[in-house]
Structure 1
């Protein structure tokens, strides 16, 4: 029986602060609280800055999280078969180069997969469509002496677009590991620590104000002036001072946590990594297309020349 009573006292002791804080919170919400301890202006400013930082992380992550979705730019209106996604463009071009008849070319184009399905990105989709188009033109090209210039250009374009697609996937991997991971950690760990610290400050403030309110109520119950602190007993003073000390300690700790969150260079470092990954991707895309452009231009000039000669001969 004694153990049960002791257990009950422990439960009551742990529940009482919670009940006191809850009662004080309800009073404040209803406008029935006599007083509310004000937080320092510097502390409130830090809270605003942390809240702004949290919103910044949430906003940017809601957009950049798409880098974790391989098909974020994959056209929703196209339908590609398993055969379309079976091999890389480079593999198919190599197989087609060894084909000597239309039947062999078709067999090479629909060869069984050698690895996992190809990526569903916009660039890869363009590459597959370009190679398929090139093959269609090649199969219907009447002249055996020369290649169809458009078919040849489309094949080169397909190879280039596949390289651009691979560069985009490399960019996405870098962004996931160096930006998304870092900003998610800041949001879900560092800022969350600040949120917990601020909650502790609010709890200690509510407990302080509820303690003050309870002592004033007790004085008023004895028919005395509740604002006369001289009527407080030594025990009551000690309780209020203990609550004040806890409030001050929690506030100082929260200030330190919030300053650490706001001062850390990690978010800016992560943003620099995001930009670097994007820059590298666009640089590679530029280089790949810069190599392709003169090749296609050459085919175009050659075809125009042949076209003019044929017209002059006619």
Structure 2
């Protein structure tokens, strides 16, 4: 047992001697390890206001991460595109409005089919839910037109074509919304997360570094070294209050740096928390959504009475045909 204690004292003395020669980085590592193992006698405490700022900054960071994890979908054009449908290159070749224009000049079923399969004039059409509905509606409309043999137009086919044109407009409004959200919300929140909050994180790390440096300097000046198992810390200077002028100067220098970095971190964190940019970006997100839903409402509200008129006319024709048959 005596041999073990002697080894512990020798080991502690060796660490102390090394501690006076090691780099500041390694000195901080020693201090951090001692704290994690419960070997540090005194740990400089950060002010309560500073701790409160850290908690608020951490909460703000989590808010940005959570919301960006969801809203980043606005950068993915096909976020609402049905995964079960199979559209070909020809299906995506032209816009619905282009196809309707070509169909209007077709004078035969063959020309109508050619209009539907016309070579693409630009990039493939968007893969959104509304665009998919538009393409499916137009294709369905043409199927009914091709099989219609009665007088006039098939009312359902006519309605589906009008619905296709409206849904394409709604899809374009959705793409406009997404572009606004990307530039006015996502860009701002990503900047806050990856720049402003990163500056705060860096400032906090500097505070922790200077705090570890300060405590390691105090520990070395007082001769407190690593504890082995249940042994008491070794005191090279029995009266730790009687520090040399050099040691006192080193401690004061470390304290000044710690205070400077703490004050700087407080300023950075307050700036991150007080800036109105995140709330302004959120307002832009909502404005883009409002504009999109307003346009979608206007487009469909304009279409609804037209479809209702076709429905009522078909019901009237059906009633008359039943009366004539009886």
The C-alpha deviation readout for 1:154-175, integer Å capped at 9, x for no partner, is 0000000000000000000000
Inter-partner Cα distance in structure 2 for 1:14 and 1:186: 41
2:163 is the alignment partner of 1:149: no
Partner of 2:256: 245
| Distance in 1 of aligned mates of 2:182 and 2:108 | 45
Shift of 1:225: 2.5
1:225 corresponds to 2:225: no
Aligned to 2:6: none
Q: Is 1:192 paired with 2:198?
A: yes
Matched with 2:79 is 72
Contact 2:134 2:167 in 1 (8 A): yes
Partner SS for 1:115: coil
Q: Tell me by how many angstroms 1:266 deviates.
A: 0.1
Tell me, yes or no, if the aligned pair for 2:224 and 2:236 is still in contact at 8 Å.
yes
CA distance in 1, matches of 2:21, 2:100: 74
Aligned to 1:278: 289
Q: Distance in 2 between matches of 1:223 and 1:75?
A: 76
Matches within 5 A, 1:43-122: 43-122=50-129
Residue 288 (1) aligns with residue 299 (2): yes
**Root mean square deviation, CA, Å:** 1.5
Deviation of 1:224 (Å): 1.6
Shift of 1:261: 0.1
Q: How does 1:136-175 map to 2 (within 5 A)?
A: 136-143=143-150, 145-175=151-181
Pick from 105, 119, 123: which aligns with 2:130? 123
Shift of 1:221: 4.8
Deviating beyond 4 angstroms after TM superposition, the runs of 4 or more aligned structure 1 residues are 12-15, 218-223
Which has a greater percent of helix? Answer: 1
What's the CA shift for 1:14?
11
1:105-130 CA distance string (max 9 Å, x none): 00111100000000000000000000
More displaced, 15-24 or 168-177?
15-24
Structure 2: distance between partners of 1:269 and 1:13: 52
SS at match of 1:292: helix
Partner of 1:5: none
Cα 1:246–1:154, aligned 2, differ >3 Å: closer, same or farther?
A: same
Q: Distance in 2 between matches of 1:278 and 1:297?
A: 28
Deviation at 1:186, TM superposition (A): 0.1
Within 5 Å, which residues of 2 pair with 1:201-216? 201-216=207-222
SS in 2 for 1:83: coil
Q: Kindly state the Cα deviation for residue 72 of structure 1 after the two structures are TM-superposed.
A: 0.1
Aligned-pair CA distance for 1:210? 0.3
**Any idea what the Cα deviations from partners look like across 1:207-248, whole Å, max 9, x if unmatched?**
00000000111796545233xx2x101000000000000000
The alpha carbon displacement at 1:288 in A equals: 0.2
TM-score (norm. length: structure 2): 0.90
Counterpart in the other structure of 1:262 = 273
- What SS class does the counterpart of residue 33 from structure 1 fall into? coil
Q: Which among 38, 41, 49 is matched to residue 34 of structure 1?
A: 41
Partners of 2:275 and 2:223 in 1: how far apart? 46
